Amino acid sequence: AHTLRLILGDQLNAQHSWLQQQDEGVLYVLAELHQETAYVQHHVQKVCAFFAAMGAFAEAIHQAGHRVLHLSLDDTAQYADLPTLLQALIKQYQVSQFEYQLPDEYRLRQQLSEMCQDLNINTQAYETQHFYLSEQEIMADFKVGHRHRMEAFYRKMRQRHQVLMNKGEPVGGKWNFDGQNQNKLKPDDFDKVPAPLLFATDVSDILARLTRHQVVTFGKVESRLLWPVTRRQAVQLLDFFCQTCLPWFGQFQDAMTGKLDDMLNQKQWSLFHSRISFALNCKMISPKQVIHRAIDEYDARPEQISIAQIEGFVRQILGWREFVRAIYWRNMPEYGELNALQASRQLPDWFWNGETDMLCLKRAISQSLDYAYAHHIQRLMVTGNFCLLAGIDPDEVDKWYLGVYIDAIEWVEMPNTRGMSQFADGGIVGSKAYAASGNYINKMSDYCGDCRYQVKQAVGDNACPFNALYWHFMVQHQTAFANNPRNKMVYANWRKKPVEQQQAILDQAEHWLGNLSQL
């Protein structure tokens, strides 16, 4: 071979220009690597999904006539890391040119660019050709440390890419339909919720390899994996979402329920969410493809799918997903060290087993351990909110999120976790900390009625811990937060409380903070 081309586990893009013509002189490499299983401890389904998807992709491009080397953990175990492996392959195959796609993760981008400086052959890096925004656009449109706002960015993206636009105006006459969305799911709505479409890929070989190479993971797995690991499965899942979930997507995107598990034959844990994030983040399908498919469905079924539903979905992918990526690349590596609220407590052990009496947390964590998945509001307003209020060290929080979720890759995990959810970036991603008392969880879910804690109480052994922790957090950061007009009401309400009540709430919070592991 004269050229070696590396394809990483999250670069499974069959539409990439590389793969549009066959060339006997090009050897593609996909490799299972110990270093990728070990930079953080991962959920076992996440490792299985990546390895299964890489295997399927290697097979698919081989079938399409490309020369492919697919290396398993058995083959790569003797190499200390990715550069060592690549250097050995370059020698073995007498390669004169090394090419790679720019990794989306800072750690890997550094590792490869450092390796290339030491190589004495030609090297070239390509874009992944997956995102709406190019690397140059990120550099041109975003500034380091600047508080860019998602809403303004999103409107520009709608215009620039002509998505849901009509003669220069947003379809439906408005940019944002959040007011019509975000309802609670009531028992009357339960029969709208479909059983999720699940796959059943045999991963027993991969599991055996993980054992053989002592890869340490956590979480539950069956020998059959329910996540899409081929492009075809990803498209099936996208079709399923558009046909059965999109009509309700926006309306119930923030809803949480613990009641459905027992009522349906097949456990229902993802409501009207697409569960397309793993397929997207591995680049098996592109954001353009997802958005076009969903808009086609909306165009074809105007009676069933309102603008509020499709706009809510497009906003997540064209808006949030591209936005957090730009924030990440503009602010790394410093971003990974930010800790604006100086949070330093340890994550309670029950994050790793779900054993807490706080029912909302128990549900969100157990589901994450069972399926490597929780939807956005579970991540933001249940687990994330708890860590924010309890002042957990953002390094610990990042480590948990980066390990547990099927879709967790640092470029998207970190701005969401450290930024949006923990406010450790001081407001680069979001304009305000997403802090909430038990009242919010009660409004969006049916958990509280079955919980041992009382959501209406702030003080006492049976009071919902979110309440006192919320006030404690807001009081502790008053100097930083009081200037934000969106917090005015909060502090006015606090000041209205009698001093003894304020003191009782703060004491209660101190008690919880000293006993987080017992909650």
The residues of the shown chain that bind ligand FAD, judged by CB under 6 A, are: 273-277, 280-281, 316-317, 320-321, 324, 375-376, 379-380, 384, 401, 405, 407-408, 412-413, 416-417, 420-421
Which residue do the tokens 């450790």 mark?
Answer: 424
417 binding partner (options ligand FAD, ligand SF4, none; Cβ < 5 to 8 Å by kind): ligand FAD
The minimum distance between CB 512 and ligand SF4, in angstroms, equals: 11
Structure-derived torsion over alpha carbons of residues 229, 230, 235, 237, reported in degrees to the nearest 10? -20
CB contact set of 486 (below 8 Å; sequence gap of 6+): 431, 432
* Closest approach of ligand FAD to the CB of residue 53, in Å: 15
Choice between 196 and 465, CB closer to ligand FAD: 196
Cβ contact 357:348 at 8 Å? no
From the list ligand SF4, ligand FAD, none, pick the one residue 213 interacts with, judged by a Cβ distance below 5 to 8 Å according to partner type.
Answer: none
Question: Residue 454's beta-bridge partner residues?
Answer: 463
Cβ neighbourhood burial of 460 (10 Å; 0-12, 13-18, 19+): exposed
Q: Could you tell me the two tokens for 265?
A: 């034959």
Residue 372 tokens, joined = 């490597």
Q: Is the peptide bond before 333 cis (omega within 30 degrees of 0)?
A: yes
In the set 115, 377, 409, 455, which binds ligand SF4 (CB under 6 A)?
455
| Residue 77: burial class (beta carbons within 10 Å; 0-12, 13-18, 19+) | middle
Rounded distance, CA 210 to CA 510, Å? 43
Q: Which is nearer to ligand SF4, 3 or 182 (CB)?
A: 182
Q: Judged by CB under 6 A, does residue 470 bind ligand SF4?
A: no
Question: Shortest gap between Cβ of 236 and ligand FAD (angstroms)?
Answer: 15
Q: Which window, 103-111, 265-273, 443-451, 489-497, contacts ligand SF4 (CB under 6 A)?
A: 443-451
Pick 11 or 416: Cβ nearer ligand FAD? 416
> Which is nearer to ligand SF4, 19 or 360 (by Cβ)?
360
- The stretch near ligand SF4 (CB under 6 A) out of 30-38, 124-132, 144-152, 450-458 is 450-458
Residue 298 contact among ligand FAD, ligand SF4, none, beta carbon within 5 to 8 Å by kind: none
Amino acid at 97: Q
451 lies in the site for ligand SF4, by CB under 6 A: yes
Interatomic CA distance for residues 502 and 204, integer angstroms: 56
Closer Cβ to ligand FAD, 72 or 339, answer by number: 339
Q: What is the DSSP string of 38-58?
A: HSS-EEHHHHHHHHHHHHHHH
How buried is residue 155: exposed, middle or buried, by Cβ count under 10 Å (0-12/13-18/19+)?
Answer: middle
Query: Out of 401, 466, 470, 512, which residue is the one contacting ligand SF4 (CB under 6 A)?
Result: 466
Which residue is listed with tokens 């052959």? 121
Q: What is the DSSP letter of 450?
A: G
- d(Cα 242, Cα 444) in Å, to the nearest integer? 24
Compare residues 316 and 442 and give the one whose CB is closer to ligand FAD. 316
Q: Are 103 and 126 in contact (CB under 8 A)?
A: no
Please report how close the Cβ of residue 519 comes to ligand SF4 at its closest, in angstroms. Answer: 8
462 residue type, one letter: N
Segment contacting ligand SF4 by CB under 6 A, of 14-22, 210-218, 436-444, 496-504: 436-444
Per CB under 6 A, 448 contacts ligand SF4: yes
> Of ligand FAD, ligand SF4, none, which one sits near residue 358, judging by CB under 5 to 8 A according to partner kind?
ligand SF4
Secondary structure letter of residue 184 according to DSSP: P
**Which partner from the list ligand FAD, ligand SF4, none does 455 bind, CB cut-off 5 to 8 Å by kind?**
ligand SF4
Select the binding partner of residue 412 from ligand SF4, ligand FAD, none (C-beta < 5 to 8 A, by kind): ligand FAD
Q: How far apart are CA 2 and CA 94, in angstroms?
A: 7
- The yes or no reply on residue 385 touching ligand SF4 (CB under 6 A) is no
Q: Which DSSP string do the residues of 133-198 spell out, in sequence order?
A: S-HHHHHHH--TT----HHHHHHHHHHHTT-SEETTEETTS-S--GGG--PPPPGGGGGGPPPPP-
CB 133 within 8 A of CB 40: no
Nearer to ligand FAD, 26 or 238 (CB): 238
Residue given tokens 């919320």 in the structure block: 470
Assess 359 for contact with ligand SF4 (CB under 6 A): yes
Q: What is the largest CA-CA distance in the chain?
A: 79
Residue 453 touches ligand SF4, criterion: CB under 6 A: yes
Nearer Cβ to ligand FAD (93/106):
106
Residue 313 or 466: the one with the smaller Cβ distance to ligand SF4 is 466
- Interface with ligand SF4 includes 423 (CB under 6 A)? no
Q: Which stretch binds ligand SF4 (CB under 6 A): 19-27, 89-97, 355-363, 493-501?
A: 355-363
* Contacting residues toward ligand SF4, per CB under 6 A: 358-360, 438, 441-442, 447-448, 451, 453, 455, 464, 466
